[in-house]
Chain A
Amino acid sequence: MKPKEGQVRIPSGCAIAAVIARDGERMSGEGMIRAMEPMHDRSNGLGGGFAGYGIYPAYKDFYALHLFFDSRDTRKTCEAFLKTGFEIWHAERIPTRKIPAITDEPIIWRYFVAPLQSVLADLQLDEKEFVVRTVMEINTRMKGAYVFSSGKNMGTFKAVGFPEDVGVYYRLEEYAGYSWTAHGRYPTNTPGWWGGAHPFSLLDYSVVHNGEISSYDANRRYIEMFGYQCTLQTDTEVITYMMDYLLRRQGLTLNETAGVIAAPFWETIDRKTDLKDKEKHLYLRTVFPGLLITGPFSIVLGFEGGLMALNDRLKLRSMVVGEKGDRVYIASEEAAIRRIEPDADNIWSPAGGEPVVIRVKEGAQI
């Protein structure tokens, strides 16, 4: 049997891209597929994926769970388990297209669900926490089942293959979203299984990542104290859980979160002349030392209504941002942006540790 993610560690080059329409206009997933084409050689065919936001307007009040199953029996067992905590409003196979480039596919379903109020009351949990615990439960305890997307009005689509092929496989041209992220994988630590492709997502947070963080184990040990289970040995999984912990559970802002995971050097903090800013960074580094990410990374975090791009503080990976009208583009290479928007202006490279947050404008329908 081929080894799966989590069973082997092979000591990532990657490609990332993202787009957001600040006016909330919905774009098909095709643009992101084309953006990945000029960065083809950054991936090796062992993983590609996309996340789209605003793609399920008809079910926007339900959590959209995307699952991989290894067999029909696993699916039946998992559905029975889901019914103990959720109302399943709609369930279906995720539409795919048979293409030679994508093989060995698991059974792929999606469920639009709402947590049962009686269960929430009984457990004294809020909705989101209950969804997170359910995802962790399935991913760690139910062999052969894996939840790879669990947010509202958003969805992650990923597979083993080159990203351009993965996009075609999932028929992304049929979806329309106000923001998209994309990833091409070159796995360096793990064998490359469908679940290990990016984006990694939890609730409406999704992360695409280029790099290889050296603080993986320190971060994992810290985050596991709070109920998150890292099952795949891939660094992006832990980043996703760190985002959920800092943003949702600790209630930090995006900028503060960036100040934790890409904290400035002590020396840089010492030299800050804005005393309030200096105090903030001292506080964040002191309170959350276990969540500092070291080693190279460039990531794009997707969330409801926006995107955040962030590089490691030493900037050991490339990332550029460009704009055209209300659209903002982020990519590992400028060529990716030029492919879909040749006239993009204001192309710039954010500094290491400097978060770039783009939100849909207030009042825009998403």
Chain B
Amino acid sequence: MKQIDAKELDFRTLNERLRQATDDIEILNCCGQRFIGAGLSDRKILIRGTPGNALGAYLNGASLTVGGNVQDAVGDTMNAGKITVHGNIGDAAGYAMRGGTILVKGNAGYRAGIHMKAYQDKVPQMVIGGRAGSFLGEYQAGGVIVVLGLGEKQSRIVGNFPCTGMHGGKMFLRAACEDIAFPQQVTARRATDEDLREIQNILLEFCAVFSYDIAAILDAPFTVITPDTSNPYRQMYVVN
């Protein structure tokens, strides 16, 4: 694995060097450089430090791993590949992603999975190990969002207004969710074993990456949320 010291490098130079490289790369001393790995279709990139916004935007198959926290708009419109975050993830994670996987050990900010979509064999997946902020899955149109709330003492594992405008895809929350107000156009129900089989592979991967025990994770109620097609989304901000 080749190393690039990102200290003193601006985002253009750093990304240019990433594009030119043919090996897997470890970035050292990363501090705020944007668009890392944008559009990359192969290679593994390991990032030490704090990458800037839009990490892995348009990612097309490469694998990005971050040792700590990441900022906003990670995986914006990503198409394929994997982003693994060992810390927390900022706002608008997986913005409009249409393929690939985002695994987060810690918490997510606001609007995780906003406008995720899916098409034929392209089904994006995002697993958040901790809790998620408000507007989780806003305008979700496809794909799968899982929030596990691991290590959370409080019962609320998501903020306010989850699934606002959701009209496709699925969300799994590892909680009974009795105190969460979902919008009228979605259906929230207790997940069955059959439902959970759908996310078994991604949970196994999450457990392998972050060293969790799958049995312990599954030893809790899950709620599955899907859009209710007979009662479509009408308004949040204005009536139209």
A: which residues have CB within 8 A of B? 38-41, 267-268, 271, 314-315, 318, 320, 333-336, 338-339, 347, 349, 351-352
Contacts and interface: CB of A to CB of B under 8 A. Distances in A.
Contacts of B90: 318, 320, 334, 349
B32 A315 contact: no
Contact of B32 (A271, A335, A347, A349): A335
21 contacts: A38-B33, A38-B52, A267-B181, A268-B160, A315-B134, A318-B90, A318-B91, A333-B32, A333-B52, A334-B90, A335-B50, A335-B71, A338-B49, A339-B31, A339-B32, A349-B91, A349-B133, A351-B134, A351-B159, A352-B110, A352-B134
A339 B69 CA distance: 14
Given A315-B91, A351-B133, A41 B11 contact: yes
Contacts, number: 57
A334 B91 contact: no
A38 B53 CA distance: 11
A39 B31 CA distance: 10
A336 B32 contact: yes
B174 interface: no
A301 B159 CA distance: 25
B110 A334 contact: no
B31 to A, nearest CB: 5
Interface in B50-66: 50-53
Contacts of A314: 135
B26 interface: no
A170 to B, nearest CB: 24
B76 interface: no
Nearest to B70: A334
A38 B10 CA distance: 9
Nearest to A336: B32
Contacts of A39: 32
Contacts of B133: 315, 349, 351
Contacts of B72: 318, 333
A339 B33 CA distance: 12
A349 B110 CA distance: 9
B42 to A, nearest CB: 27
A188 to B, nearest CB: 18
B91 A335 contact: no
Interface of B: 10-11, 31-34, 49-53, 69, 71-72, 88, 90-91, 109-110, 133-135, 159-160, 181
Contacts of A349: 88, 90-91, 109, 133
B171 to A, nearest CB: 19
A122 to B, nearest CB: 52
A38 B32 contact: yes
Contacts of A335: 31-32, 50-52, 71
Nearest to A271: B181
Contacts of A267: 181
A349 B53 CA distance: 15
Contacts of A320: 90
Contact of B31 (A38, A268, A271, A318): A38
A143 to B, nearest CB: 41
Contacts of B53: 333
Contacts of B33: 38
Contacts of B11: 41
A316 B137 CA distance: 15
Contacts of B50: 334-335, 338
Nearest to B237: A314
Nearest to A337: B50
Given A334-B71, A338-B31, 12 more contacts: A38-B31, A41-B11, A318-B90, A333-B71, A335-B50, A335-B71, A336-B32, A339-B32, A347-B88, A349-B88, A351-B133, A352-B110
Q: 4 shortest A-B CB distances, which residue pairs?
A: A335-B32, A38-B32, A315-B110, A335-B50
A105 B58 CA distance: 43
Contacts of A338: 31-32, 49-50
A41 B133 CA distance: 26
A169 to B, nearest CB: 22
Nearest to A349: B109
A333 B49 CA distance: 13
B197 to A, nearest CB: 34
B52 A347 contact: no
B160 A41 contact: no
Most buried by B among A38, A40, A335: A335
B106 to A, nearest CB: 10
A318 B51 CA distance: 15
A42 B75 CA distance: 19
Contacts of B51: 335
A39 B11 CA distance: 11
A336 B51 CA distance: 11
